[in-house]
A and B are shown apart, each in its own frame.
Chain A
């Protein structure tokens, strides 16, 4: 008998065999599972995921128009432009961070490419959060701001943001296997981010010496770009787009690099 050389696979010291299954089919099924499991036990379904941004928007609107009045036009839409990117970012990052530990059963039983697990977690949450993005767009239309051709930029900035979150989730999901405190660090950082991202205040009141640092924060960049597009009807400035693109690509590479380094020993720590 001869042949079969094509399927010859070899495992040398400290390296696992590459996974030969259908990655796209697996990601598809993992996302479907995420969504089905989430909504099957909720009688109100999607409404729950819309309730949080609506309540937050109402509270912030009340505080900053009735208690501390301000002169920002369309304040409700302005605030929602901040809340939705913040929610997407924090929820994807946190569930991405815990994804490997929570799917220990998969890591310990099947030799799938481990990077698929945080990736599917981020993408699944993006599908889940698209209801909030739709809510934001509807509110902008209801405010009477209308659609404009710069909406096309939304696809670019959200694509870059998802790349950034995926890189971040790869990095932190690997850390979380070795140090289980990681998820609490992420939770704390998310609380701090709520104040450091211009959600309920405009970027223009941030002192100019901090502008550079603010734009390097991809969540802030996402919020600012969303406001450019949805509220002002202009394309985001090139400087902001370049910073967002660079930080996203760098984070994705860094995340993959660290993940591949740490992945061979996941099995021992789960």
Chain B
């Protein structure tokens, strides 16, 4: 049933080219003369295909450089695929790299408004959920203070509160939620489980942790841009950790 599809990747390729020294005029000119950069592009994703039903929760596991973050940025719409197609059904909220647009000289309330607008919220929705955002962040007494007076934990709490109030259909989560103290982390996790109970789609990226096993019923193991295994979470994590052990053992 296609109408129930939340996320679909069809033979998606994504490469990154080496161009670290190409940002100055000098290197552009040099490349013109010497017929460009001959280095091979680095493939972060190689012909990746998978499909997620609405309300499903999926974990992507793999080592550093496996392509997990690239996969998330494709779903978030930050980058286009080089080849293939990415379909995403509904509004996406990314619970990673929180707090975009946050400025230390703006007050907490001003930062909430700017950040919410960047996440795609309109004025009506923001006015409706503003009190909720403040309450969830537990920062009611600090909203008129500039952000530079906040601790980093307070700023992250505020950013998380805005992100979860976008009213997403699809929730993207990167790694363990290291937001605030243990009590607040538990509250965040509870909020995410809430989303799951409401039938939202959850895509979670991780090095394989306990949280993933509690949250996701299905997992994909990525290795250097290839899908190694796609199946039940416990099965995939066993296989992935088995590989890790055999690598460190030998």
Chain A 1-30 near chain B by CB (<8 Å), digits 1 or 0 = 111110111111111110111100110111
Closest 8 CB pairs of A and B: A21-B120, A22-B122, A111-B77, A109-B100, A26-B117, A11-B86, A17-B77, A29-B117
B187 at the interface (CB under 8 A from A): no
- The complex places the Cα of A179 from the Cα of B25 at a distance, in Å, of 6
In residues 12-42 of chain B, which contact A (Cβ within 8 Å)? 16-17, 19, 22-25, 28
Partner of B81, one of A13, A37, A105, A111: A13
Say if the beta carbon of A268 comes within 8 Å of chain B: yes
* Chain A min CB distance to B91 (Å): 7
**Further pairs besides A11-B77, A12-B81: 16, Cβ < 8 Å:** A4-B89, A7-B91, A8-B89, A9-B87, A9-B88, A10-B86, A10-B87, A11-B85, A12-B80, A13-B80, A16-B79, A21-B118, A21-B119, A109-B97, A110-B101, A110-B120
**Which B residues form the contact surface with A (CB < 8 A)?**
1, 3-4, 16-17, 19, 22-25, 28, 54, 73-74, 76-91, 94, 97, 100-101, 103, 105-106, 110, 113-114, 117-123, 126, 169
Which of A1, A15, A105, A108 is in CB contact (< 8 Å) with B78?
Answer: A108
Decide if the interface of chain A is mainly helix, strand, loop or mixed: mixed
Q: In the bound complex, do residue A17 and residue B121 qualify as a contact, i.e. CB atoms below 8 Å apart?
A: no
Find B123's partner among A7, A14, A22 (CB 8 Å cutoff).
A22
Q: How far is the CB of A99 from chain B (nearest CB, A)?
A: 13
Are B110 and A33 closer than 8 Å at their CB atoms? yes
Nearest CB of A to B143, in Å: 15
CA distance A8 to B85 in the complex (A): 13
- Could you tell me if B105 and A37 are in contact, using CB atoms closer than 8 angstroms? yes
Please give, as numbers and ranges, the residues of chain B lying within 8 Å of A22 by CB-CB distance.
117, 120-123
Q: In the complex the two chains form, what is the Cα distance from A180 to B17 in whole Å?
A: 18
Q: In the complex, which of the residues A26, A179, A264, A267 contacts B28, with contact meaning CB atoms closer than 8 Å?
A: A179
Q: Chain A residue with minimal CB distance to B126?
A: A25
- In the bound complex, residues from chain B placing their C-beta under 8 Å from that of A13 are 80-85
Q: A206 at interface (Cβ–Cβ under 8 A)?
A: no
Minimal Cβ-Cβ distance residue in B for A34: B103
Docked complex Cα distance between A209 and B77 (Å) = 53
B114 and chain A: residue at smallest CB distance: A29
A210 at the interface (CB under 8 A from B): no
Within 8 Å of chain B (Cβ to Cβ): is A195? Answer: no
Q: Number of A residues contacting the other chain (C-beta, 8 Å)?
A: 46
Given A11-B80, A20-B120, also A180-B24 (CB < 8 A): yes
Q: A1 CB to closest chain B CB, in angstroms?
A: 5
Is B24 a contact partner of A14 (Cβ separation < 8 A)?
no
A181 at the interface (CB under 8 A from B): yes
Cβ contact within 8 Å between B106 and A37:
yes
Q: Give the nearest-CB partner of A41 in chain B.
A: B105
Q: Which of A25, A40, A106, A180 is most buried by chain B, counting CB atoms within 10 A of its CB? A: A25
Across the interface, do A269 and B19 meet the contact criterion of CB distance under 8 Å?
yes
A154 to B140 alpha-carbon distance, docked (Å): 46
Expressed in whole angstroms, the Cα–Cα distance for A3 and B2 within the complex equals 10
Complex Cα–Cα for A11 and B225 (A): 19
Contacts of A253 in B (CB 8 A): none
Report Cα–Cα, A15/B123, bound state, in Å.
28
On whether A178 and B114 interact (CB within 8 A), knowing A13-B85, A20-B120, A106-B101, the answer reads no
Distance, CA A16 to CA B78, complexed state (A): 7
